[in-house]
Amino acid sequence: MIKEISGGVCAAQGFKASGVHCGVKAGSSPDKNDLALILSEKECAAAGVYTLNRVKAAPIYVTMDHLENGVAWGVVANSGNANACCPMSHENAEAMCGFAAKATGREAEDFVVCSTGVIGQTINIQALQTGMPKAAAALSSDGSDAAAAAIMTTDTVKKEIAVSFELGGKTVRMGAIAKGSGMIHPNMGTMLAFVTTDCAVTTEMLEDALREVSAKTFNRVTVDGDTSTNDTCVVLANGMAGNELIEWKDESYETFKAALDYVCRHLARAIAADGEGASRLVTCKMTGARSEESAERLAKAVVGSALVKAAMFGADANWGRVLCAMGYSKAPFRPEHVDISFESSAGSILVCEQGDGLAFDEELAKKVLTEKEVVIAVNLNEGEDEAECWGCDLTYDYVKINGDYRT
Amino acid sequence: MIKEISGGVCAAQGFKASGVHCGVKAGSSPDKNDLALILSEKECAAAGVYTLNRVKAAPIYVTMDHLENGVAWGVVANSGNANACCPMSHENAEAMCGFAAKATGREAEDFVVCSTGVIGQTINIQALQTGMPKAAAALSSDGSDAAAAAIMTTDTVKKEIAVSFELGGKTVRMGAIAKGSGMIHPNMGTMLAFVTTDCAVTTEMLEDALREVSAKTFNRVTVDGDTSTNDTCVVLANGMAGNELIEWKDESYETFKAALDYVCRHLARAIAADGEGASRLVTCKMTGARSEESAERLAKAVVGSALVKAAMFGADANWGRVLCAMGYSKAPFRPEHVDISFESSAGSILVCEQGDGLAFDEELAKKVLTEKEVVIAVNLNEGEDEAECWGCDLTYDYVKINGDYRT
């Protein structure tokens, strides 16, 4: 039984967080937090998944290095600069960990480090050095909100969640913050997401659970098909819930994985809904598939299609574009078996049956598609497998935001 | 020596064409041609390449069937409806050929048939039946313009070209028309393109030349990553130039292929420049590659990236997005070797060297990127191979056009 609770990344016992403004980006408002810290009072088992982009930002290499021993104590992250593809990027990522360590009395190697923002400009390391003691002083068990705000770039809403569940009579808590709005097409890793839990679990089990869960949550989101250079999701587990250590794939592991899935699914959907310029969350539910893999590939092609996304913006029931996107996805299916419906809280409307268009009520279709959350439901009528992928519509604002983001 | 001449698809000896309005799409202006005919006075060797989308429109299957014997006499094509994914689509595609045959005194099997427009609505076959005698009566050696206009949908300019070249003392002519603006990410086939020539060439040589050339021209264009259900490129060669029949891959074959490449490259660039809503043509030149294949994959990822395209709209020298797109292309390269420049008629500016950003003159960069044709020049510094791909910027108008195209 997974229950939503408050507290975000500080909901689990022993975790504090903070977010402050230090001025990473020249001319940014002093009201915009840009430096986040998360710290556990005990050592954590830690696991991460990262972008598969061949161009990886320096903080990813530093984080991989620091997590090689499977443990960490905290996270340091900034927005306003991706610290990618610029001179001194590796040295500066290491320096950020050093500042965090100095300000908190730990070691540089105890920190995971992440950056997000513009690519290719050297990061303002002085601002981070000056801001770090402020961030350390602000660490508190109420700090999740401030930390979530500090990792936002073009995000319009904070992404935060926490849950509790029971393991062998003990209450375990898990919380997370994430950011992500543009350059979203995660591949094995994801945007930035930090999950904390007081569950007692080995690094190995944590790694397996994170790999399985992120493949079915974050990796099923696309905003614009652009896989970022900085995607990172890290889970820290400090064991303070006092449950029996999870070290095998037993029932407790499954319970833990279900909670991690709940948290990551929530954040994945939140990221899709907050896609740059998006006016609605678009989910594609692909059912009746021969395999989950082909269902995922088909659903992802649909939510990734620029033409489907533009039609969703216009609340236009242009299902031909859905079938067309499936057709170029490279997944096998029979077009002549396909049923397509559009669904939302305003109703459900079948527009294509066995591959051929149906006459349908255009007015109802418009109503269905004008809601904030729209589902494109496709039945392949070929098997029992299914998958769900999330995206958003393509709007004038996406073009506006990205036509002049850098300057 | 390839020379541009006038006459479009009627430039080669023995070809006539026409375009008329017949009202395929309800409520369309009587000034908008929507039915095109092309007819040769002699039998032609014929070859086609088609979309690899698993969902193929009925006209493609009918055309494949009619070209099985390697010969054809003409083309019948309409805009206003794709004749795809709807009841009676196959019967209606066959019927179009039947009408064309009756109106011209030929057989249905002598015709290539193509449709372009909305997917999933049954085509108005009565309009086509009524219009066909009008189209046949209008056939003339001045008809290329009218035919090119008749296959336009969201295209804003007609795509037409003709060339002449010498083969063994004979003058050979080749002409073409094409359409394509949205749902453009050709895969082996392309949009609609019809090439006519009076060259004497076997069907086998024609097929090989078309396959090789379309792979390096049409297949290197992307407007929105959406591979259409109707992409078709067909070449008709009636032999009336009187050159010695090309039946081997000899020097004449290479000369013919060079002319075909010239024609297709022109149309490919025209289609990219006229991408839906586009304000500029964006070319990515990838040089210094280990293989042409990887150069093509990298260049296509760059011109296909929504973020790069939006930056080009904003004339923003955001080269980080170029490197990021290369990174997720799945082609091998070393980020730390990469040089990136932006080039146009206003100048050239190096913005990234050996994978790291350079300080550059923002004002000059803006000037370079504000031109109608912009080149993103990338040197991988790893080998001798190269490839060029074409796309366009992502603008408010793309969203506008596709937010409500169907209704």
pLDDT single digits (tens) B315-340: 999 998 999 899 888 899 999 999 99
Provide the b/e sequence for A126-163 (b: ≥16 CB within 10 Å): ebbbebbeebbebbeeebbbbbbbbbbbbbeebbbbbb
Alpha helix segments (H runs only) across B233-318: 251-273, 292-304, 306-313
A198/A174 Cα distance (integer angstroms): 7
A269 and A286, same domain (yes or no): no
A308/B145 Cα distance (integer angstroms): 32
Average pLDDT over residues A193-203: 91
B355/A182 Cα distance (integer angstroms): 23
DSSP-based three-state secondary structure for A214: helix
- The answer, for B362 touching chain A at a CB cutoff of 8 Å, is yes
B115 and B158, same domain (yes or no): yes
B228 and B325, same domain (yes or no): no
DSSP-based three-state secondary structure for B206: helix
A153 is catalytic: no
Strand partners, A7: none
- The answer, for A191 touching chain B at a CB cutoff of 8 Å, is no
Q: What is the pLDDT of residue B62?
A: 96
**Strand ranges, E, within A107-216:** 111-116, 159-167, 170-179, 192-197
- Given a contact cutoff of 8 angstroms between Cβ atoms, the answer to whether A268 and A221 are in contact is yes
Q: Is residue A190's pLDDT more than 50?
A: no
Residue of A nearest to B394 (CA): A399
B326/B320 Cα distance (integer angstroms): 10
- Given a contact cutoff of 8 angstroms between Cβ atoms, the answer to whether A17 and A38 are in contact is yes
B237 and B291, same domain (yes or no): no
Of B226, B399, B407, which has the smallest distance from its Cβ to A399's Cβ? B399
Q: What is the 8-class DSSP label of residue A242? A: -
A136/A138 Cα distance (integer angstroms): 5
- Residue in A51, A153, A190, A395 annotated catalytic: A190
B129/B137 Cα distance (integer angstroms): 14
Count structural domains, chain B.
Answer: 2
A229 and A80, same domain (yes or no): yes
Q: How far apart are the first and last CA of chain A?
A: 48
Q: Given an 8 Å threshold on Cβ–Cβ distance, is A356 in contact with B85?
A: yes
B259 and B301, same domain (yes or no): no
DSSP-based three-state secondary structure for A378: strand
Residues of B in contact with A394 (CB under 8 A): 399, 402
Nearest Cα neighbor of A223 from A177, A175, A179 is A179
Span of A8-17, A115-124, B96-105, B180-189 with lowest mean pLDDT: B180-189
- Angle, alpha carbons B34-B38-B44 (nearest 5°): 150
Residue of B nearest to A331 (CA): B54
Average pLDDT over residues A301-329: 91
B171 and B230, same domain (yes or no): yes
Domain range holding A16?
3-273
Average pLDDT over residues B15-38: 95
Q: What is the 8-class DSSP label of residue A244? A: P
Which secondary-structure segment (H or E) carries B178? strand B170-179
Average pLDDT over residues B96-119: 95
**Total-model pTM:** 0.81
Residues of A in contact with B297 (CB under 8 A): none
Size of interface A-B (CB pairs under 8 A): 211
Question: C-alpha distances in angstroms, B311 versus B271, B299, B369?
Answer: 20, 16, 10
Average pLDDT over residues A362-388: 95
A201/A204 Cα distance (integer angstroms): 8
Kindly give, in sequence order, each residue whose CB lies less than 8 Å from that of residue B273, ignoring residues fewer than 6 positions away: B280, B281, B372, B373, B390, B392
Span of A190-194, A279-283, B175-179 with lowest mean pLDDT: A190-194
Greater pLDDT, B391 or A217: B391
DSSP-based three-state secondary structure for A128: helix
A254 and A285, same domain (yes or no): no
CATH number (domain holding residue B227): 3.60.70.12
Kindly give, in sequence order, each residue whose CB lies less than 8 Å from that of residue B66, ignoring residues fewer than 6 positions away: B72, B97, B108, B109, B110, B111, B112, B113
A316 and A252, same domain (yes or no): no
Strand partners, B37: B18, B76
A220/A297 Cα distance (integer angstroms): 9
Residues of B with a known catalytic role: 190
Split at pLDDT 50, 70, 90, the class of B54 is confident
B21 and B156, same domain (yes or no): yes
A240 and A295, same domain (yes or no): no
Split at pLDDT 50, 70, 90, the class of A102 is very high
Q: What is the 8-class DSSP label of residue B337? A: G
Q: Is residue A289's pLDDT more than 50?
A: yes
Q: What is the pLDDT of residue B203?
A: 92
Touching B: A residues 33-92, CB under 8 Å: 52-56, 82, 84-87
Number of helices (H) and strands (E), helices first, in chain A? 11, 15
CB atoms under 10 Å from CB of A362, counted, come to: 13
Which secondary-structure segment (H or E) carries B283? strand B281-289
Nearest Cα neighbor of B394 from B290, B297, B298, B311 is B311
- The answer, for B366 touching chain A at a CB cutoff of 8 Å, is no
B283/B269 Cα distance (integer angstroms): 9
Provide the b/e sequence for A364-390 (b: ≥16 CB within 10 Å): ebbebbebeebbbbbbbbbeebbbbbb
Nearest Cα neighbor of B83 from B13, B12, B10, B24 is B24
Nearest Cα neighbor of A259 from A161, A144, A165 is A165
Q: Given an 8 Å threshold on Cβ–Cβ distance, is B404 in contact with A226?
A: no
- Given a contact cutoff of 8 angstroms between Cβ atoms, the answer to whether B316 and A406 are in contact is yes
CATH number (domain holding residue A301): 3.10.20.340
Q: For the CA atoms of chain B, what is the radius of gyration?
A: 22
Tell me the DSSP string of A16-57.
Answer: EEEEE---SSTT--TTS--EEEEEEEEEEEEEEEE---SS--
Average pLDDT over residues B250-267: 92
CB atoms under 10 Å from CB of B219, counted, come to: 23
Which secondary-structure segment (H or E) carries A237? strand A232-237
Q: Is residue A154's pLDDT more than 70?
A: yes
Of B87, B182, B229, which has the smallest distance from its Cβ to A356's Cβ? B87
Q: Given an 8 Å threshold on Cβ–Cβ distance, is B318 in contact with A406?
A: yes
Tell me the DSSP string of B40-91.
Answer: EEEEEEEEEEE---SS--HHHHHHHHHTTTSEEEEEEEEESB---SSTTHHH
- Given a contact cutoff of 8 angstroms between Cβ atoms, the answer to whether B399 and A395 are in contact is yes
Q: Read off the amino acid at residue A208.
A: D
Split at pLDDT 50, 70, 90, the class of A185 is low
Strand B111-116 relative to strand A232-237: parallel, antiparallel, unpaired? Answer: unpaired
Residue where the block lists tokens 């097409």:
A185
- Tokens representing residue A218 in the block: 């974050």
CB atoms under 10 Å from CB of B169, counted, come to: 8
Q: What is the pLDDT of residue B215?
A: 85
| Residues B114-161: tens digit of each pLDDT | 999 888 889 999 999 999 999 999 999 999 999 999 999 888 889 899
Domain end position, chosen among B245, B273, B301: B273
- Given a contact cutoff of 8 angstroms between Cβ atoms, the answer to whether B150 and B8 are in contact is no
CB atoms under 10 Å from CB of B177, counted, come to: 32
Q: Given an 8 Å threshold on Cβ–Cβ distance, is A328 in contact with B402?
A: no
- What is the pLDDT of chain A when averaged over all its residues? 91
Domain end position, chosen among A252, A273, A294: A273
Provide the b/e sequence for B194-218 (b: ≥16 CB within 10 Å): bbbbbbbbbbebbbebbeebbebbb
Touching A: B residues 320-349, CB under 8 Å: 320-321, 323-329, 332-333, 335
Question: C-alpha distances in angstroms, B54 versus A331, A385, B187?
Answer: 9, 20, 11
Domain end position, chosen among A227, A242, A273: A273
Average pLDDT over residues A160-164: 92
DSSP-based three-state secondary structure for B167: strand
A312 and A201, same domain (yes or no): no
Question: C-alpha distances in angstroms, B359 versus A174, B150, B328, B349?
Answer: 44, 50, 25, 11
Span of A35-44, A225-234, A241-250, B379-388 with lowest mean pLDDT: A225-234
Q: Is residue B8's pLDDT more than 60?
A: yes
